[in-house]
Structure formats: C-alpha cells, structure tokens
Amino acid sequence: PYPVYEKLRKDDPIFKVMFPSGEFGWIISRYEDAVQILKDSRFSKDIVKRYGADGQSIFSSNMLFSDPPDHRRLRGLVQKAFTPKLVADMRSHIQSIADVLLDELPSQETMNLIDDFAFPLPIIVISEILGVPAEDRDKFRMWSNTVIEASTGQNAELFQQHEREFTEYLTAWFAKVRQEPGQDLISQLVIAEESGEQLTEKELLGVVSLLIIAGHETTVNLIGNGILALLEHPEQRDLLIQKPELIHQAIEEMLRYNGPVEFSTSRWASEDIEFRGQQIAKGELVIVALDSANRDEEQFKDPDVFDITREKSAHLAFGKGIHLCLGAPLARLEGEIAVSTLINRFPNMKLQIDVDTLEWRPGMIVRGVKEIPVLLK
C-alpha cells in the first residue's frame, strides 16, 4: 500500500471517500495531521451518539468506542492490569512460554511462523491475564478474525452468527466466574459489574471481547511483520544478533515500518470542522492511515528504509491521544521476547517461499500476513 500512501500524502492528504457502509468519510495520511486529529476531542468515538443504541454491537460497547467520561471509567477498570510495572514482572513467564512453543514445534526444520509461534504466544498470555482457557484459542481466533475482517463490509451474516457465539461463550464463562471468582482480570470485572455501579453487563462483554480481539489481531502481526522485515534485511538481523541491546529500537522500527494496525478505528465530526482547508461536515467519519503517517517523509528521514538503529522514532503504531493503546507495554515486551528468542535460536532462518507470494490479510484495520512458512536451519 505504501506507494498509494505516498501519493495520497503528496496530492490528497485529506482524502474524501465513500466507505463500504455507504457513509462519507475522510482518510488522513500525513503524520502531523494524524496527530492533530487523534488529539482533537471534536472528533468523537461515541457509537451510541452517532448511530443510536441499535448501532451498538458487543464489540463496540467499550472504551475504544466511547468518549469521556465513559471512556475514562471503562479504561480505568482495566488499566491497572496493564501498567508497565506489572507487565515487566511477566517477563520471565512470557520467556518460558516462547521457549516451550519453540521446544515443542512439530518439526525443528520448518515452521509456519504465524500459526506455530506468533499467534499462540500473545493468545496464551492474554488468556492467562483474563483467566479464560487458552485451549479455546481456536474459537477466539475465529471470532476475532470475523470481527476484524468485517471492516471489508462483507459477510454480515457470519458476523452476526459469530457475535452470537462469542456472546454466549462469554456469558456462560461469566456465570462460572461469578460462582467461583479467582485472581484474574475477568473476576475483577465481574465483581465490579455486580456492584452495580462501575459497568453494565453489556460493557463487561464489550471490554472482555475488546481485550481478546486486541490480544489476537495485533501482537501476532508485530511478531510476523517484524520477523519478515528481518528476513528481508539479513544485514539488520545480523546486527541485532551481534548487538542484542538494540532490541528495543528494533521493535519500535518494526512498529513504524509495517505497523500491525494499518488504519485507526473511525472517529466522527461532532460539529462542522474546517481542517486544513477541507470542510468536514458534522457526522462525517475520519480515519487515520497510521501506516502512512509512519512513512511520512516530513517526519522520518528515509522513511522506506528499515533501520533498527533509528533513534526516537515517535511512530503512531499505537495511536495517540486518549485512546493510545492500553496494551502497548505488553505488546512491546511480547515482541521483544518473541523476536530475540527466535533469531537467537534460529539465526539462519529463511523464508520458504518468495516474499511476493505471501498473502496479506483482508480488511482495512489489520496489516499482517496469513502464513509465513520458514526454513529454520
């Protein structure tokens, strides 16, 4: 998509389009504009205000689709579980999950990097935080994929079916947790819901499904896209093997170079807004092309060069403003452990097929490859 983005930044940085839903909206492709829009509270995320209560599915009854004060309340309820300190304490545990996954690969010769490693790692971690059985991960994956790929506007029936199944699964799980609460995050949220003040049943479903989806659709692609970038730039991989302390910078560069979230979720103009000479009418949608902003030549020197020694990259892969990714500390740590462990264990790993034949996931939000077959030795 990058040549298209380059053209958009140059010729149409605030570009009007019609979305699959038939609504008008704007795509923002420059870095500076992206930052401004993401920080401007006149662009609302409140789904109920925009579409009425009927427009709200369980996947939008959460912090990502609300404005303050609801946003603050809903984010506050889970923030405690994702502080940098708590996340850092999980390092050795996440490391052992990565080691076990690699020890137990079906073969030590080849693997599918996504299914065998990049996908299970973050899922096991988020399942443990939430307290849901990691063995159910195939179901979570199917439901999450449907929700994310629904952004193509297709498959409305499948979406409804999977929304129903996901809701039934979680509702049954909450009932079980109410009988026997544990130390996990869902137990804390269920207790908060029962107190009757902090969140509704629908919001409980909303926040838990958001965490499951966010945990499934993003970090897997940080690991996948990141390793892919190293395989395409073996000199950068060798540098990282020589200087392991570069891992923090390398992860930031992976996030900038091929960020897992291609577009922000949409905002809508709560009033008529003039923005850089364009008239954005009240009710129109605005979407930020994060992966375009991250290649903006006004912000990054040689933006198309993958350089793990790049300093202070200030990319927008985690968004910006009040909706800045809550899971960023966790995603960074998982990314660091996954990438370091893989390249140290398999320093000669190679793609098994031509890079141009890799198939990218459909949909506008997630940028990631379906399968990455590699030779390990």
Measure the CA–CA gap between 292 and 257, rounded to whole angstroms. 10
Q: How far apart are CA 355 and CA 371, in angstroms?
A: 11
Residue in the structure block whose two tokens are 């307290």: 131
Radius of gyration of the chain (CA): 21
| Residues 7-46 contacting ligand HEM, CB under 6 A | none
Residue placing its CB nearer to ligand HEM in the complex, 35 or 376: 35
CB of 39 to ligand HEM, least distance (A): 11
63 binds ligand HEM (CB under 6 A): yes
Which of 56, 145, 258, 264 touches ligand HEM by CB under 6 A?
264
Beta bridge pairs of residue 268: 44, 285
Distance separating alpha carbons of residues 302 and 78, to the nearest angstrom? 38
Q: How far is the CB of 377 from ligand HEM (least distance, A)?
A: 28
Q: Which is nearer to ligand HEM, 205 or 211 (CB)?
A: 211
> Is-contact 321 212, C-beta < 8 A?
no
The 153-192 site mask, x for binding ligand HEM (CB under 6 A), equals ----------------------------------------
Choose which of 35, 64, 113, 338 interacts with ligand HEM (CB under 6 A): 64
CA distance 244 to 246: 5
Q: Is 325 in the site for ligand HEM (CB under 6 A)?
A: yes
| Angle between helices 185-194 and 201-217 in degrees, nearest 10 | 160
Is 251 one of the binding residues for ligand HEM (CB under 6 A)? Answer: no
| DSSP H or E run through 375 | strand 373-375
Q: Minimum CB separation from ligand HEM for residue 369, in Å? A: 15
Element (H, E) at 275: strand 273-275
Phi, psi of 7 (to 5 degrees): -65, -40
Q: Which residues pair with 280 in a beta bridge?
A: 273
Residues 304 to 323: which contact ligand HEM by CB under 6 A?
317-319, 323
* Gap between the Cα atoms of 250 and 20, Å rounded: 36
Is 222 a binding residue for ligand HEM by CB under 6 A? The answer is yes
Under the criterion CB under 6 A, does residue 126 sit at the interface with ligand HEM? yes
* Minimum CB–partner distance for residue 156 and ligand HEM (Å): 22
Q: How many residues bind ligand HEM (CB under 6 A)?
A: 26
Q: Are 38 and 320 in contact (CB under 8 A)?
A: yes
| Residue 144 is a binding residue for ligand HEM (CB under 6 A) | no
3-state secondary structure (DSSP) of residue 353: coil
Under the criterion CB under 6 A, does residue 87 sit at the interface with ligand HEM? no
Site for ligand HEM in 192-221 (CB under 6 A): 210-211, 214-215, 218-219
Q: How far is the CB of 316 from ligand HEM (least distance, A)?
A: 7
Please state the closest distance from residue 102 (CB atom) to ligand HEM, in A.
20
Helix (H) or strand (E) holding 373: strand 373-375
Among 206, 224, 327, 368, binds ligand HEM (CB under 6 A): 327
Angle between helices 91-103 and 120-130 (to 10 degrees): 140
Query: By CB under 6 A, which span of 21-29, 148-156, 225-233, 327-335 interacts with ligand HEM?
Result: 327-335
The residues, ordered by sequence, that sit 6+ positions from 182 with a Cβ below 8 Å of its Cβ are: 131
**Smallest distance, ligand HEM to C-beta of residue 179, A:** 26
User: What is the C-alpha to C-alpha distance for residues 80 and 82, in angstroms, rounded to an integer?
Assistant: 6
Give the binding site for ligand HEM (CB under 6 A).
63-64, 75, 126, 210-211, 214-215, 218-219, 222, 259-261, 264-265, 290, 317-319, 323, 325-327, 330-331
